[in-house]
Amino acid sequence: MLRSRRMYDLCFRSLQGLPLPARALTTLLIESIIGRLLVTRQVVVCSYVWMANHPHMQLLSLDSRALTSFHGQLKKRLNDFIKRLLDLTHLTLWDNRTTLAEVLDLEAAINRIVYSYLNPVRAGLVSSIDEYKGCNTWKEFISAPADLHAVVTKEVPWILATDIDPLSHRNPSLSEEKRALEALKDKAAKRQTHTLEIQPFRWLEAFGISDPKEIEKIRARIISRVREEEAKLAVKRSSPERLAGFIVTDEYIPPKKERKVFMYGSSKEKRLDHLLLFRSFINKCKECYELMKQGVKNIPWPPGCFIPPTPQLCNAL
C-alpha cells in the first residue's frame, strides 16, 4: 500500500526558549549532526530552514526505520549539544508532538517547500530568504542543476558532545563564538569528517518526475511563489525584538501548540483516500500480529510496517 519512495515534512519545536539562534555556531552543530546521521544513506535530505525554536525539513525516505531513527537522533543530539553549550545538568528541549507527515502529491509538496522558505520572512526576521543567516538550503535550491540526482555536498566535522565547552554567556560575543568554532574544529580534526549531502530535487522521485525541463519549471514555480509572498509580507513586516542568544528558559514560550499533522495533501479527497488506505494497512498489521501470537511462521506482513518482536507464547517454569 505504501510507496517505496515517500516524501516527508519534518517539524519539531522547543518547549520554551529560542535554543537555535541564527548564528554560525548553531549552523556548525546542526550540520555536523545531520552529516553524521546520513552515513546510512537511507534518508535523503532535500531542503530545510532552521528557525530559532523549530526546523522545517523536507526528506525522502528510502527506509521507514531509518527515518524514525533519523529524527529521533537529531532531536537527542541537539538536546545534548545545547545542554553542554549552556552547562546544564538536565535539559528537556523538545515538545514530544513531532510532525513527521507524509506529503501525498506534488502540489502539497510545493506548498510545503514554499512555506518553509517563507518562514523567516513571516517571522519578520528578514525581507527575503536570501538575507537569512540561519541554517538553510535556499542557495543550494536555486543554484543546483535541474536534475533529480543533483547533489550539493559539504564536508562537516564529526563533533561529539564532549567536544563542546560551555559558553560564558548565553548570548556570546562574536569573538567568543569564533573561538568556540575554532576549538570545536580543532578537536574534531582528529576524527574523520562526514559529507553532508543536500539533494534539492530528489523529493520529486516520490511523484514520478525526473525530466530536467519539468524540474526546472517546478523550481521556477517555487521561486516565483516565494518572491510574490515576500513582496506581500514586506508591507506588513515589523521589527521584532532580536534575541540572538541560546535561550532555553521561559523568556520565550511558543504562543500556541501546533496540532500534530500526519499527512499533507492538496485536496480533502486525497487526504481521505490516504486515511482509508492507512486504516486498511493498520488492520492488516493487526491480523498479522494475531497470527504471530498463535505461533504462525512466515507471516506476510505489509510492506513498510515495523514488525514487532515475537510475543511470549509460554511461561518458563
Query: 91-130, pLDDT tens digit by residue?
Result: 999 988 888 889 999 999 999 999 999 999 998 899 999 9
- Provide the grid cell at 74: 537529531
List the single range of 23-37, 58-72, 190-204 with lowest mean pLDDT: 58-72
Which of 111-132 are b and which e, b meaning 16 or more Cβ less than 10 Å from the residue's Cβ?
bbbbbbbbbbbeeebbebbeeb
Mean pLDDT of the chain: 87
pLDDT for 88 equals 92
The answer for residues whose C-beta is within 8 angstroms of residue 223's C-beta and 6 or more apart is 142
Amino acid at 27: T
12 in Cβ contact with 55 (< 8 Å) = yes
pLDDT at 315: 61
Question: Confidence class of residue 276 from pLDDT cuts 50, 70 and 90?
Answer: confident
Residue with cell 501525498: 104
Give the per-residue pLDDT at 2: 46
| CB crowding 232-252: b at 16 or more within 10 Å, else e | ebeeeeeeeeeeebbbbeeeb
Which H or E run includes 45? strand 43-50
Measured CA to CA, the distance from residue 266 to residue 272 in angstroms comes to: 11
Q: What angle do CA 49, 55, 61 make, to 5 degrees?
A: 90
For 231, the grid coordinates are 513582496
Compare 282 and 205 and report the one with higher pLDDT: 205
98-107: b (≥16 Cβ within 10 Å) or e: bbbbbbbbbe
Task: Note whether 12 and 258 are within 8 A (CB).
Answer: no
Provide the residue type at 181 as one letter: L
Which 3 state secondary structure label does DSSP give 166?
coil
Asked if residues 75 and 94 have their Cβ atoms less than 8 Å apart, the reply is yes
Closest CA to 60 of 199, 170, 154: 199
Q: Please state the rounded mean pLDDT for residues 179-185.
A: 94
CATH of domain 6-266: 3.30.70.1290
Nearest to 134 by CA among 35, 243, 216: 243
Query: Does residue 1 register a pLDDT over 50?
Result: no
> What nine digits make up the cell of 149?
540526482
What Å distances lie between residue 91 and 19, 26, 104, 171, CA to CA? 11, 17, 35, 18
**pLDDT greater than 90 at residue 75:** yes
The pLDDT assigned to 67 comes to 84
Cell 511558543 identifies what position? 254
Contact 112, 57 (CB under 8 A): no
What is the arithmetic mean of pLDDT over 32-51?
93
pLDDT of residue 5: 83
Kindly indicate the confidence band of residue 182, based on its pLDDT and cuts at 50, 70 and 90: very high
Strand partners, 23: none
Q: Which residue has the higher pLDDT, 287 or 241?
A: 287
Q: What is the CA radius of gyration of the chain?
A: 21
